[in-house]
Amino acid sequence: MKKLISFTLVAALLCMLAVAAAGAVSAADKADITINGFNCPGNEGTTAILTGEKVGASLLWWQVLVFEPDTESGGYKCITKTSADGETDKTQLAIPAGGFAVGTNTGNNYPDLYENDPTKEEYKDKPNYITEANQAAYAAVAATEVGDIVYLVGIDLEKGTIDDNASDELLWYQDGYVSNAKLTFTKPSDSATDESENEPVDEGEASVVNAALGKTYTLKGLFTGEGAWPDEGGTTLTDGKGATQVGYADPAWVGLNLSGDGMDTAEGVRDKSNIVVDLGESTKIFKFAVELLDFKGEAGIALPTATEFFYSADGENWTSAGVGTPETESETACINISSLTLDAAVDARYVKAEFEHTGNWVFVSEIEAYTQTGGTDTPSTDTSSSAGTSSSAGTSSSTPVTGDAGVAALVIVAAVALAGAVVVKKAR
């Protein structure tokens, strides 16, 4: 009888270990979730990181996962999973402190839709947002369960950047776009976290810097009356902290209005608002960028008809660098970035972004002017916007561990347990 009980216990133990081992394999075998956007809930065909206190957008046709920091594993635990059923509104979905959400949608193939129904004029000039890479990410999100642990690779939550090759000319849905940013279900090796932290800096190596960060500025068009969205202490637009919510409730937004301070309000006049940043010294600038709220005209808030960038040596005589281009094409409200990259850097002590209003309001959360230090004088395209849709943030070549070691450990435990059971039987 005792012998039967011992074998029964061993069998039960082995079954439990087998289940645990199967679970370990299952976690290791889950496909990575490739990320191709950051705080861009208006984009189609994207799998994006969303930060802030709430998701802040309805995302009816998006799957959304919410993660919180997990101190035990050092990763992030999935605590909420919502479906893309066309009915579930994710606007008020809370994001824990230090955590994030992941939203994904498949997007539409508008050329095919227009070919099938040419009466749909709104489809005529839109692209195909469906890509194999994003379809795989969508499936990986669907396979993720509450309680799963993930780890970030190529994603900087604080800076709001991801490791990809997106640029003004190459968008997330176009051929040639590549993202190295992902959520992985197996813990990366220590060397995969950020190899650059422990590497000596090569003084001859080029480094891209936002020269406007922390600098003082003046505003034309700041609305200070009732219902204002003020500039918090004159630091909001150069503090490196972009907006995280698609909506005017986010305190990172500063509202510039046609009736704001310094604007010509004469009848029939639509004056232009602006931001002027003093860089402190003459600096070679090769890229300009501003982060804007594209609210599609709701509450009078819309993208400017045009955003023109200027530079100056004295703050009085200005030279136009050119007109910026929105980095995101979206039919719904979103956080957008208007940027301009120059073929050759220009000398600037002052930089200015000037807005031609579409509606009464232009909402801005950050202005940036990039310079390159060290290396050659050739501008680098590797810039990381404070809250860009998808900006480069360095590449990690390390390969995550497979998790096989954990399964091997379970096998060893099982062997030890079985040996112990045999010894007990012999003793009796």
β-pairing verdict for 273-294 and 217-220: antiparallel
Rounded Cα gap, residues 111 and 424, in angstroms: 72
| CA proximity to 285, closest of 375, 210, 387, 366 | 210
Residues 186 and 292 in one domain: no
How, if at all, do strands 319-323 and 325-326 pair?
Answer: unpaired
Nearest to 183 by CA among 242, 73, 102: 102
Q: 41 and 67 share a domain?
A: yes
CATH of the domain at 337: 2.60.120.260
The Cβ of residue 230 has, within 10 Å, a number of other Cβ atoms equal to 14
The encoded tokens of residue 130 equal 């469906």
Q: Is 204 helix (H, G, I), strand (E, B) or coil?
A: coil
Q: Look at the block and give the residue holding tokens 């950050």.
A: 366
What is each CA distance from 330 to 48, 78, 81, 323, in whole angstroms? 14, 28, 25, 19
Cβ neighbours around 419 below 10 Å, total: 10
Asked whether residue 382 is assigned to any structural domain, the reply reads: no
Residue-level pLDDT at 404: 37
pLDDT reported for residue 73: 92
Task: Give CA–CA dist 335/291, Å, rounded.
Answer: 7
Q: Say whether both 228 and 358 belong to one domain.
A: yes
| 8 Å CB contact between 38 and 132 | no
How many independent structural domains does the chain possess?
Answer: 3
Cα gap 310→324, rounded to integer Å: 11
**Looking at the domain assignment, is residue 203 inside a domain?**
no
Residue 381 forms part of a structural domain: no
Flag whether 202 is in a domain. Answer: no
* Same domain as 218, residue 178: no
> CA-CA distances (angstroms) from residue 284 to 70, 239, 310, 346, 379?
43, 21, 13, 5, 10
Residue 379 located in a structural domain: no
As a whole number of angstroms, the distance between CA 183 and CA 136 comes to: 13
Specify whether 81 is located in the same domain as 95.
yes
For the chain, percent helix, then strand, then coil, each to nearest 5? 20, 30, 50
pLDDT value, residue 129: 94
Residues 64 and 120 in one domain: yes
Cα–Cα distance, 221 to 359 (Å, whole number):
13
Cα separation, 90 vs 363, in Å, equals 23
pLDDT in tens, 84-120: 999 999 989 999 999 999 999 999 999 999 999 999 8
Q: How many CB atoms lie within 10 A of CB 386?
A: 25
- Beta 75-82 vs 63-70: how paired, if at all? antiparallel
**Do residues 309 and 337 share a domain?**
yes
Query: Which residues 6+ apart lie within 8 Å of 417 measured at CB?
Result: 10, 13, 14, 17
Q: Do 190 and 48 belong to one domain?
A: yes
What pLDDT does residue 406 have? 37
User: Which domain, by its residues, includes 55?
Assistant: 31-197+392-397
- Tell me: do 69 and 187 sit in the same domain: yes
What pLDDT does 224 receive?
84
- The interaxial angle of helices 404-427 and 2-29, nearest 10 deg, is 180
> Does residue 378 fall inside a structural domain?
no
Q: What's the pLDDT score for residue 325?
A: 94
CB atoms within 10 A of CB 417: 16
Report how far residue 305's alpha carbon sits from residue 308's, in angstroms, rounded to the nearest whole number: 10
Which helix or strand (DSSP H or E) is residue 276 part of? strand 273-294
Tokens of 419: 């040996």
In a domain, 384, yes or no: no
| Whether the Cβ atoms of residue 138 and residue 63 lie closer than 8 Å to each other | yes
Q: What is the pLDDT along the chain (428 residues), one digit of tens a residue?
A: 444 434 444 444 444 444 444 444 455 578 999 999 998 887 899 999 999 888 988 899 999 999 999 999 999 999 999 999 999 999 899 999 999 999 999 999 999 999 999 998 888 889 999 999 999 999 999 999 999 999 999 999 988 889 999 887 889 999 999 999 999 999 887 544 443 333 444 445 567 899 999 999 999 999 887 767 778 778 889 988 888 888 888 888 999 999 999 999 888 888 999 999 999 999 999 999 999 999 999 999 999 999 999 999 999 999 999 999 998 888 888 889 999 999 999 999 999 999 999 999 999 999 999 998 765 555 555 554 444 443 333 333 222 333 333 333 333 333 333 333 333 332 32
Same-domain check for residues 192 and 222? no
Instruction: Judge if 193 and 148 occupy the same domain.
Output: yes
Q: 354 with 289, same domain?
A: yes
Helix and strand totals (H; E) in the chain: 4, 19
What span, in angstroms and rounded, lies between the C-alpha atoms of 147 and 329? 34
- The answer as to whether 347 is a domain residue is yes
Q: What is the pLDDT of residue 370?
A: 95
| Dist CA 321 CA 307 (whole Å) | 11
What distance, in Å, lies between the first and last C-alpha atoms of the chain? Answer: 12
Token reading at 92 = 């008020």
d(CA 92, CA 99): 15
